[in-house]
A and B are shown apart, each in its own frame.
Chain A
Amino acid sequence: MSFYKQVTSKPWEYQGPVTGSGPESAFEKESERIALTLFLVVVCVIFSLLTVTYYLRMDLGDWVPLADPAMLWLNTAMLLLGSVALQRATGCARKGLTRQARNAFVTGGAFAALFVAGQCYVWLQLDSSDLGVASNPSSAFFFLLTGMHAVHLLGGLWVWSKTSFRLFSTDDSAGVRLSIELCTTYWHFLLLLWVLLFGVLLST
């Protein structure tokens, strides 16, 4: 029974167990995938609120636009490559190509770690150029937005390291396929989020 039909049904009319032989699920997906989707929505809310406050604070008069460091383009490339590598890992895992899946998965994580390292370099660079976090609201927001994004990526790297451990401790990558797929989804999401944030930073 479709979700719409369910919520408009008249439950007081007797119908017995109404559906198939298995337990009820609203979506034909793994629970982990549903939970990740929900989590991504929560992350979207966090960054939407940050972006709204960014634009509101910008109008308050003391805002001095920040020249975004060129290094950010290189970092963006790292994140993009990380996403591509994880997509490949997913493809290989689906085909049962364990060795290739391992290589691609590790590469994807390494690129993400390089992205975080690159962001750290940018923060140090800004700090040493007297554009530190307290210098101006634009700098404060730069550190806040990029920092929050990096924290989410670090969380992803923690899950990635656990998945890597499982991937290398078994010959069969099918068992960890779901974890690889979820990591890939998360990587793509953080790439998209970064592109949007970068766009906001560049345009202001």
Chain B
Amino acid sequence: MAYVPLADQDHELHDPHTFVTKYIWSQDHKVIAIQYGGTAILVGLVALALSAMMRLQLGFPDTFSLIDPSSYYQAVTMHGMIMVVYLLTALFLGGFGNYLIPLMCGTRDMVFPFLNMLSFWFYLVSVLILMSSFFVTGGPTGAGWTLYPPQTITPGTPGHETGILLMLISLGVFIVAFTMGGLNYVTTVLQARARGMTMMRLPLSVWGILVATVLGLFAFPALLVSAIMMTFDLLLGTSFFMPAIMAAGEQLDYNGGSPILFQHLFWFFGHPEVYIVALPAFGLVSDVLSTHARKNIFGYRMMVWAIVAIGGLSFIVWAHHMYVSGMNPYFGFFFATTTLIIAVPTAMKVYNWVLTLWEGDIRLNTPMLFAIGFVFTFIHGGLTGLFLGNVVIDLPLSDTYFVVAHFHMVMGVSPVLVVFAALYHWYPKMTGKMMNETLGKLHFWCTFLGTYAIYLPMHYLGFLGVPRRYYAMGSTDFIPESAQALNANITIAALFVAVVQILFFINVFWSLKNGKPSGGNPWGATTLEWQTPETPPKHGNWGKELPVVHRWAYDYSVPGYPQDFIPQNVAGDFGVSDDHDHEPKKD
């Protein structure tokens, strides 16, 4: 039985009738997307506050009595886990995935709307469980976001009893939520596209989200398995990961377990996780760049295949996170090789973004500024990845601020710039209002320059050998006084960047009320979400009839066509033909 378009049915499914079914227990993908996105951003603000706390301690040690070693490590742990999993994964896939997949594919909703709703509520429960760990005895876990055993569950580590348990349960619930959502996204893209929307006509946003979701479905099981096994070690006294160990002068009841086994499982999830965040960002930024450069994306097929290749390769590079764990050198050689290979399709994408901009009719509005900013930060973060991918360079740098700078540039700043590019780009579709450009540009420049002020000096600190993960440096001969001055400056920049994010929130709420009406397609974009009969799209998205797709997603500045874009649902071959007579016809 093939998918039956709802337009052909007598009544729409899960049609909301009350406030509760429309806005709270909603099965509409757009509402669920906003619920996912709103929750992710709120929890992300908690993580941002935690990073400010860390930076205060690092920049001005012994100044704030509120921050002791335990609370510092708890802040490090929660900041990392929230940012990677609960903010970026949830926002890109639960937020943008939910909003854009049905609209870009030309369908009315996800194929399993109830499961979609359930996915959000499970996600919310996972967030609440995680947040509850701030209020239990001992506080949240302070084991570092990688949760490495044995210290994760040995006495002396903050939150080694309740905090870590809540973290593991929360991750389990999150993975269930992700699986429900992920099955939905993949099935919808594969099975429910509008007529004419072949796979190769899909916008790159959908490709990025699709492949990232598949990665998530294959990678999160590794985190689930390691979380369950660690819970066994914690609650039932098994020794999957726990070796024989003394803690606080006492021999613990563990014997023979392998902490390295945990590291392998964790990073088998952890490295694809980088691409679970990066691939949707790659897709979204491609669409933003193409639209605002008024040019078709350069090398569409290459971009699609690069997304797929990066996705596949991301499963065979995980041990480059473990060079310092004492692995066999041949093992290290293998993973260094695969790591450098993955740079090839990634570099192709970067070249293609730059070539898309080449001789484009570039409109430097806020979303475009954020998108171009991403290209800069991603190149910088990516290049330092080439250093760290090599074993001999990684060994001395691994435990220094060089690594902190690298991964924040490549999977912190870069995806967040894409988040902002995408929010500024699709906000008019979500609300029917334009955002304020002046505020948006101010937000961009403060964020872009501010993040460079934070992370460029961190590379230098890393070269000096300043170790990461330390609460305080104390008196260390090899670290000069000037390094501390640099640390203080980094903190000031970090606090500045954190505070200027308020510009974005002011803009969002101010524009909701006072923004100029956007109309349906303010950017002159080709993809289907901009062709809905109403803006913001109503329940069911497409009115009575689903769109029919006639062309790919990147017909910009086609010679012979009166406008500089041809929407995907416009019929007619305008290519390079001299025949200008036929009128565009919208389906």
Query: What residue of chain B has the Cβ atom nearest to residue A60's Cβ?
Result: B256
A134 and B2 contact, Cβ closer than 8 Å, known pairs A11-B200, A23-B193, A27-B191 = no
Pick the contact of B268 from A8, A34, A49, A56 — CB < 8 Å? Answer: A49
Q: How many Å from the CB of B360 to the closest CB on chain A?
A: 16
Chain A: residues with Cβ within 8 Å of the partner, total of 50
Query: What residue of chain A has the Cβ atom nearest to residue B194's Cβ?
Result: A23
Q: How many Å from the CB of A197 to the closest CB on chain B?
A: 14
Residue numbers in A under 8 Å from B548 (CB-CB): 17
Pick the contact of B200 from A7, A19, A41 — CB < 8 Å? Answer: A7
Contacting pair A14 B190 (CB below 8 A) = no
The answer to the question of B448 belonging to the interface, with a C-beta cut-off of 8 Å to chain A, is no
Contacting pair A23 B190 (CB below 8 A) = no
Contacts of A1-51 to chain B: CB distance below 8 A: 1, 3, 6-14, 16-31, 34-35, 38-39, 41-42, 45-46, 49-50
- Cα of A10 to Cα of B213 in the assembled complex, Å: 25
The answer to the question of A200 belonging to the interface, with a C-beta cut-off of 8 Å to chain B, is no
The answer to the question of B304 belonging to the interface, with a C-beta cut-off of 8 Å to chain A, is yes
Contacting pair A144 B228 (CB below 8 A) = yes
Residue numbers in A under 8 Å from B199 (CB-CB): 3, 6-7, 26
Pick the contact of A18 from B5, B191, B196, B221 — CB < 8 Å? Answer: B196
A42 and B217 contact, Cβ closer than 8 Å, known pairs A17-B549, A25-B191 = yes
Pick the contact of A11 from B224, B237, B300, B575 — CB < 8 Å? Answer: B300
Contacting pair B1 A30 (CB below 8 A) = yes
Contacting pair B195 A24 (CB below 8 A) = yes
The answer to the question of B84 belonging to the interface, with a C-beta cut-off of 8 Å to chain A, is no
Q: How many Å from the CB of B222 to the closest CB on chain A?
A: 6
A61 and B256 contact, Cβ closer than 8 Å, known pairs A23-B195, A38-B186, A134-B237 = yes
Pick the contact of A42 from B200, B218, B240 — CB < 8 Å? Answer: B218
Listed in ascending order, the chain B residues whose CB lies under 8 Å from chain A are 1-3, 5, 107, 111-112, 179, 183-184, 186-187, 190-201, 217-218, 221-222, 224-225, 228-229, 232, 236-240, 253, 255-258, 261, 265, 268, 296, 300-301, 304, 546, 548-552, 554-555, 571-575
- Cα of A13 to Cα of B198 in the assembled complex, Å: 13
Beyond contacts A16-B196, A26-B190, A42-B217: 10 other A-B pairs, Cβ-Cβ < 8 A, are A7-B304, A13-B575, A20-B195, A22-B2, A25-B190, A30-B1, A35-B184, A57-B257, A137-B238, A144-B229
Subset of 8 A-B contacts with CB under 8 Å: A12-B554, A25-B190, A39-B183, A45-B221, A46-B224, A49-B225, A57-B258, A134-B237
- Cα of A13 to Cα of B112 in the assembled complex, Å: 34
- Cα of A105 to Cα of B258 in the assembled complex, Å: 44
- Cα of A18 to Cα of B265 in the assembled complex, Å: 45
Contacting pair A38 B217 (CB below 8 A) = yes
The answer to the question of A62 belonging to the interface, with a C-beta cut-off of 8 Å to chain B, is yes
- Cα of A30 to Cα of B2 in the assembled complex, Å: 6
The answer to the question of A140 belonging to the interface, with a C-beta cut-off of 8 Å to chain B, is yes
The answer to the question of A148 belonging to the interface, with a C-beta cut-off of 8 Å to chain B, is yes
Residue numbers in B under 8 Å from A3 (CB-CB): 199
Query: What residue of chain B has the Cβ atom nearest to residue A139's Cβ?
Result: B238
The answer to the question of A110 belonging to the interface, with a C-beta cut-off of 8 Å to chain B, is no
Residue numbers in A under 8 Å from B575 (CB-CB): 13-14
Residue numbers in B under 8 Å from A35 (CB-CB): 111-112, 183-184, 187
Contacting pair A133 B236 (CB below 8 A) = yes
Q: Tell me the interface secondary structure of chain A in the complex.
A: loop
Pick the contact of B191 from A26, A50, A61 — CB < 8 Å? Answer: A26
What 1/0 flags go to A60-76 for Cβ under 8 Å of B? 11100000000000000
Contacting pair A17 B550 (CB below 8 A) = yes
- Cα of A111 to Cα of B539 in the assembled complex, Å: 44
Q: When A and B form their complex, which 8 residue pairs have the shortest distance between CB atoms, in order from nearest?
A: A17-B196, A62-B256, A11-B552, A134-B237, A24-B193, A140-B238, A14-B573, A26-B190
Q: How many Å from the CB of A29 to the closest CB on chain B?
A: 8
The answer to the question of A204 belonging to the interface, with a C-beta cut-off of 8 Å to chain B, is no
Pick the contact of A31 from B112, B551, B552 — CB < 8 Å? Answer: B112
Pick the contact of A62 from B183, B253, B255, B546 — CB < 8 Å? Answer: B255
Contacting pair B221 A24 (CB below 8 A) = no
The answer to the question of A53 belonging to the interface, with a C-beta cut-off of 8 Å to chain B, is yes
Contacting pair B196 A50 (CB below 8 A) = no
Residue numbers in A under 8 Å from B194 (CB-CB): 23-24
Query: What residue of chain B has the Cβ atom nearest to residue A148's Cβ?
Result: B228
Residue numbers in B under 8 Å from A57 (CB-CB): 240, 257-258, 261
Could you say which of B112, B184, B229, B554 has the most chain A C-beta atoms within 10 Å of its C-beta?
B229
Contacting pair A133 B5 (CB below 8 A) = no
- Cα of A90 to Cα of B18 in the assembled complex, Å: 39
A12 and B552 contact, Cβ closer than 8 Å, known pairs A49-B221, A134-B237 = yes
Contacting pair B179 A140 (CB below 8 A) = no
Contacting pair A16 B571 (CB below 8 A) = yes
Residue numbers in A under 8 Å from B232 (CB-CB): 133, 140, 144
Contacting pair A31 B261 (CB below 8 A) = no
- Cα of A6 to Cα of B301 in the assembled complex, Å: 11
Contacting pair A38 B183 (CB below 8 A) = yes
Contacting pair B550 A46 (CB below 8 A) = no
Residue numbers in A under 8 Å from B195 (CB-CB): 17, 19-24
Contacting pair B197 A9 (CB below 8 A) = no
Q: How many Å from the CB of A136 to the closest CB on chain B?
A: 9
Residue numbers in B under 8 Å from A26 (CB-CB): 190-191, 199
A14 and B550 contact, Cβ closer than 8 Å, known pairs A24-B196, A42-B217 = yes
A23 and B221 contact, Cβ closer than 8 Å, known pairs A9-B198, A49-B268, A60-B256 = no
